[in-house]
Amino acid sequence: MGTIRSKLKITEILDILAKAYPDAGCALNHSDVFQLLCSVMLSAQTTDVSVNKVTPALFSKYPDAFSLSEASADEISEIIHSIGMYKTKAKNLILTAKELAGKYGGEVPEDYEALVSLPGVGRKTANVVLAVGFGQQRIAVDTHVLRVANRIGLCCEKDPLHTELALMEILPQNRLTEAHHSLIFHGRRCCSARKPLCAGCPIASLCMKNL
């Protein structure tokens, strides 16, 4: 575990990405931490754009954990049917809402272990909620972060868990959340999986592909 890049190079990469993507941040529309949690749960293997299309109707009818906990899976499925794995996600949303309502007074817990114990909530979802919803410094590893971090040489790992652990070890602790958003934006706008736009990449001279 660790990095093949120096701390100086890592800081330089982060600085360039921050300048290239000043608008980098959570792209999921939400008005509170509960809505954030639901949105991140819905975003698994689905684009944020697709999630943002279904959540207005979802949150209009079920604005909190108490109301969502009383919904049926069929009701939720009807609202979110346009996104992937909607039946499983509908079930997990309701189960999580029931737990929040019964165990946490309807509030989302600001605790990693409590979050990952909720149905349908994994490491990535918990880290996003803690970072965006509660302001903690967290690095959440989605497909973009996994691809970009390893492709440019921030780390050299093959799966999300080991990539997360490696990035936590080598990134500045006060820039974990920033790095998460910057790497996602870079993955979406430049360093795509099939056709990365290397010619116009702001960190091309620092990328391991060119070293």
- Catalytic residue numbers? 124, 142
Which residues, in sequence order, are CB contacts of 34 under 8 Å at separation 6+? 64, 65, 100, 106, 107, 108
Task: Match 């706008």 to its residue by tokens.
Answer: 189
Please list the alpha-helical segments (H only) found in the chain: 7-20, 33-42, 48-61, 65-69, 73-80, 86-103, 112-116, 123-128, 134, 143-152, 160-170, 176-189
Other CB atoms within 10 Å distance of the CB of residue 30: 19
Which residues, in sequence order, are CB contacts of 175 under 8 Å at separation 6+? 14, 137
Torsion of CA 110, 113, 114, 117, to 10 degrees: 140
